[in-house]
Chain A
Amino acid sequence: MKLSPRQLVEVALGVLTSVGGYLDVGAVATSAQAGAEFGFRHLWVLWLGTLVVVFLVEMAGRFAAVSGHPLRAAMRERLGFNFFVATSTAELVVGVLVLASEIGGIALALQLVTGVSYRWWALPAGLLVWALLWNGTFGVLEKGVALLGLVTLGFVFAAVRLHPPLGEVARGLIPGGGGHDAAHYWFIAVAILGALISPYLFWFYSSGAVEDGWGEDHVSTNRMVAVVGMGFGSVVAAGVLIVAAMVFLPRSIVVDDYAQVALGLTTALEGSRGFYLFAASLGIACLGAALEAALAIAYVFAQGLGWNWGESLRPRRAARFTLTYTAALLVAVVPMTLGVDPLALTVFSMALTAVVLPITIFPFLMLMNDERYLGRHRNGKLSNAVVIGVIALAFVLALVTIPLQLAGG
């Protein structure tokens, strides 16, 4: 695979934005809880989730680059209106909950720094996201916020600085059980997978590829960005888990509030920089994810219902698209303003994401083998085997999530 200098720059930028945009409130919350309660034993869940995300993101990008269609529009075309309504309704509920969690993350970051309750920050945070969407273009939002998100690499730096026992870290990469508290262990594992394999990521990525005007010549770039960017991104989530395992586990601190999570990075780094690095990481990561989640909701509906869509279009040229993300944001600020516990909402919405995964992932198998869309870029045997494996995993997750929520959530 030979890349031109222009493609190399695209790959580098794509990798940086993938790393910077990898973390969101769900990954922070679930990784911190996992590390605090079970040490390094959930590290294997992170690599498994990342492997799934790498394959699915690569497929979403390849599909958009080759066919010029975003995934959700193609699903509507191939699977019909009834399927679109059923899946979009489920994804709308989950999407708004995820969006509420991300807004909660921004509000909490502001609470950490100012001392003013997150309930007061929810509306301004929602307005900030809305204003950026209203005024920004796709490229600025995607690359600008994600590059700022590189601040989350502070977790990796802190994790290295804490000198974790490498043998135990390596053992954590091998799948294992949860010991005495198996239900809770598996509930957290499901929540981590829900946080990593978020449907909004695929809708956003494939729509973004169309917005950026990708063509067949971007197939290699897309593959490298997916593999390297997402792969390195998972290291950031592993950093959160390792910091939590090193700081909270020896002190028997069970994470049930974001204020506790802040103490991880604070303890790991000298002076007050750890605290402010955490607040910045949480705020920027959640801002990026909130932009993506709000846009993904609007993409799904606009593409499915045949409206004008595009973040780079002026709002009046895509009025219904703009109205959709505005309405989603309005609804999403309500739970936080009412004082719903942000961490509980995050973990719940991540688990609920796992429930809707089968209906999200199943159409990949059909679309990625459709010659009319992909021609010679259709899935090979390996990719199909992975998708089938992921669908099986998604069905298992969907079946076990609610019982685990009751038993160990």
Chain B
Amino acid sequence: MRIAARPRRSTAVSTPPRPQRRALAARAVLLALALSACSEPPPAERAADAVESIRSWTATVRLAAESWLQAKTPAAYTRLTLRKGKQTLGDAVETLEAGPVPPEVEANLGMLRAPAASARRLAEAAERGDRGAVRRELAALAAVEARIRALDERLAAAEAKP
């Protein structure tokens, strides 16, 4: 059944005059900006997010390097992922260094810098095909990861407290 229906005319609706529409648009923009401003997280939350990112990417870097050691992933992917890890870890540390952070994070900044350096060394070792160096670096990174995990859990618990 084919239908040759005629396009219907839509009913005219009254629209506000142009200046009123502009004012409405301006208010909408202001509301959007206000909402965006509200969404800026407080320093403690920003620090917790940065620590969470470090924890996540430390684990990613480990998993990527372990997968390469087991010949599960090609060298090109491993190199890119480790580089991305190094960059993201570095960015997260910069965020922590730039703003006010809780004393516990301040005290652990040295430890939080370690995974970025480790990702760089892992990337270099993987590029050289030096499996021994990758294994040694992974062992060191596992210890750091455990400490970061503990720190992240303490921060999350502190954030959850009323």
Contact = CB atoms under 8 A, between A and B. Distances in A.
Interface of A: 66-69, 74, 76-83, 111-115, 117, 180, 251-254, 256-257, 259-260, 262-263, 266-267, 271-272, 274-275, 372-373, 375, 402-403, 406-407
B35 to A, nearest CB: 5
Contact of B53 (A67, A69, A115, A254): A254
A272 B74 contact: yes
Given A113-B74, A262-B77, A267 B67 contact: yes
A66 B1 contact: yes
B-side interface size class = 35 or more
B77 A259 contact: yes
B8 A263 contact: no
B74 A275 contact: yes
Contacts of A267: 63, 67, 72
Contact of A274 (B55, B72, B160): B72
Contacts of B35: 402-403, 406
A119 to B, nearest CB: 12
A254 B56 CA distance: 6
B79 A115 contact: yes
B133 interface: no
A266 B7 contact: no
B40 to A, nearest CB: 10
13 contacts: A66-B1, A80-B9, A112-B77, A252-B56, A253-B56, A254-B52, A257-B84, A262-B77, A267-B67, A275-B72, A275-B77, A403-B35, A406-B35
Nearest to A86: B10
A370 to B, nearest CB: 9
A19 B39 CA distance: 39
B63 A407 contact: no
Contact of A272 (B60, B63, B73): B73
A256 B88 CA distance: 10
Contact of B2 (A69, A78, A252, A254): A69
Contacts of A403: 35
A9 B15 CA distance: 54
Given A254-B56, A263-B63, A67 B2 contact: yes
Contacts of B1: 66-68, 373, 375
B3 A67 contact: yes
A405 B127 CA distance: 39
A84 to B, nearest CB: 9
B144 interface: no
Contacts, number: 107
Given A272-B72, A406-B35, A406-B36, A263 B10 contact: no
B5 interface: yes
B131 interface: no
A180 B10 contact: no
B71 interface: yes
B44 interface: no
A266 B5 contact: no
B26 interface: no
Contacts of B149: 252
A82 B10 contact: yes
Contact of A253 (B63, B72, B79): B63
Contacts of B59: 251-253
A345 B10 CA distance: 35
Nearest to B35: A406
B18 interface: no
Given A80-B10, A254-B52, A259 B84 contact: yes
Contacts of B52: 252, 254
Interface centre among A79, A114, A260, A274 (most CB of B within 10 A): A260
Nearest to A247: B63
A252 B55 contact: yes
A76 B149 CA distance: 56
B44 to A, nearest CB: 15
B80 interface: yes
Contacts of A114: 76
Contact of B73 (A252, A275, A407): A275
A67 B77 CA distance: 51
A115 B74 contact: yes
Contacts of B5: 74, 77-78, 372
B136 interface: no
Contacts of A115: 74-77, 79-80
